[in-house]
């Protein structure tokens, strides 16, 4: 039996010719039989790659031979390459799609003007030292708001974001201006979003911005559920959610019956990728797990029982 591994990594560094790097990475992965997703931009590289252990080792070694990628940190995890249906290597304007490629500046050291990196224990030190001065540190969630429904740092600010692009509108809305002279720690799943987010915040006048190094993943490894984190972590694979220990709180609520749950379920309609929280019982009722947009579409079809006057009344009652 062959052993499989997955590596997750990112590196911010100036790339003069992303297309050439793409071709090199594509060839390298194909030769080694690796699968996964790699994004390359003028700002660097971000990838999740899986395959046979020795092939992944070779991949890591080879990738690090390229000057700008020297010193890249690879996070190893157990897992099958089968988690990825194929190999996708793409050139994009940004590694994380905030929609503002021109506002991100990188040099060989990484993003220019980003927040100070704090390791998990340094976050605790910061919170304690600020508290002794009578100041509370604010945790700022750098993920999509949905993810924070099942887990977040205690008292965290969760911006109203459906996609990464929404952060720009949120930051420019003035909603968070009261934090501009406050200590703010940005956090996200693995740390890459906060590399960019913290720089965008500093650029907009937030004076004291930190970022959680290695993200929630590394924090959870260090403190599980005995620190400042609460709940479960949303993850981008088949599991959808994970807990750091059996003490993890369940923060999420079923959208149908309000029972405690951490489980996201896809909309019942095929091809719709809307995710909502449902408890175990409600998750088995297709009508219930159909999202609002798909329900409206279905009801608009001729012959649907909710057509006409009765349908209107029903809908009014449902939205009351």
Active-site residues, by number, are 188
Query: Of 188 and 282, which CB lies nearer to Zn ion in the complex structure?
Result: 282
Q: Which of 58, 122, 256, 266 binds Zn ion (CB under 5 A)?
A: 256
Among 34, 192, 279, 289, contact with Zn ion (rule: CB under 5 A): 279
As given in the structure block, the two tokens for residue 22 are 């793409």
Residue 91 burial (C-beta neighbours within 10 Å; 0-12, 13-18, 19+): middle
Contact at 8 Å (CB) between 78 and 21? no
For 134-177, list the strands marked E by DSSP. Answer: 138-141, 151-153
Binding span for Zn ion by CB under 5 A among 81-89, 115-123, 225-233, 279-287: 279-287
Handedness of CA 303, 308, 310, 312 (dihedral sign): positive
277 binds Zn ion (CB under 5 A): no
Q: Does the footprint of Zn ion cover residue 267 (CB under 5 A)?
A: yes
Q: Does 282 bind Zn ion (CB under 5 A)?
A: yes
- For residues 55 to 84, the per-residue mask of contacts with Zn ion, x marking binding by CB under 5 A and - elsewhere, is ------------------------------
Check binding of 255 to Zn ion (CB under 5 A). no
Number of residues that bind Zn ion (CB under 5 A): 12
Q: Does 123 bind Zn ion (CB under 5 A)?
A: no
Residues 156 and 172: their CA atoms lie apart, in Å, by 19
For residues 202 and 180, is the Cβ–Cβ distance under 8 A?
no
Q: Does 224 bind Zn ion (CB under 5 A)?
A: no
Question: Which conformational region is residue 125 in: left (phi greater than 0), alpha (psi within -120 to 50 degrees), or beta?
Answer: alpha
Binding site for Zn ion (CB under 5 A): 254, 256-257, 259, 267, 269, 272, 274, 279, 282, 291, 294
């Amino acid at each position: 039996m062959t052993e499989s591994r997955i590596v997750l990594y990112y590196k911010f560094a100036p790339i003069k010719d992303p297309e050439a790097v793409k071709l090199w990475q594509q060839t390298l992965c194909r030769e080694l039989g690796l699968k996964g997703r790699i994004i390359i931009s003028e700002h660097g590289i971000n990838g999740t790659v899986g395959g046979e252990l020795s092939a992944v080792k070779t991949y890591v070694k080879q990738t690090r031979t390229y000057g700008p990628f020297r010193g890249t940190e690879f996070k190893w995890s157990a897992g099958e390459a089968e988690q990825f249906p194929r190999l996708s290597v793409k050139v994009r304007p940004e590694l994380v799609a905030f929609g503002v490629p021109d506002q991100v500046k990188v040099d060989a050291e990484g993003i220019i003007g980003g927040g100070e990196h704090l390791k998990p224990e340094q976050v605790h030190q910061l919170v304690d030292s600020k508290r002794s001065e009578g100041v509370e540190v604010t945790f700022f969630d750098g993920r999509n708001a949905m993810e924070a429904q099942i887990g977040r740092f205690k008292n965290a600010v969760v911006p109203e974001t459906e996609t990464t692009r929404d952060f720009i509108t949120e930051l420019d809305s003035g909603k968070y201006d009261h934090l501009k002279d406050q200590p703010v720690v940005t956090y996200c799943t693995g740390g890459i979003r906060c590399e960019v987010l913290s720089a965008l915040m500093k650029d907009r006048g937030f004076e004291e911005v930190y970022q959680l190094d290695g993200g929630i993943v590394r924090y959870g490894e260090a403190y599980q559920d005995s620190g400042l984190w609460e709940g479960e972590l949303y993850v981008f694979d088949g599991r959808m959610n994970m807990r750091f220990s059996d003490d993890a709180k369940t923060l999420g609520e079923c959208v149908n019956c309000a029972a405690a749950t951490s489980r996201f379920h896809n909309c019942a309609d095929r091809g719709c990728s809307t995710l909502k929280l449902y408890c175990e019982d409600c998750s088995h009722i297709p009508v219930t797990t159909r999202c609002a947009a798909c329900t409206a579409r279905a009801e608009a079809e001729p012959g649907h029982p909710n057509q006409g006057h009765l349908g209107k009344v029903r809908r009014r009652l449902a939205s009351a």
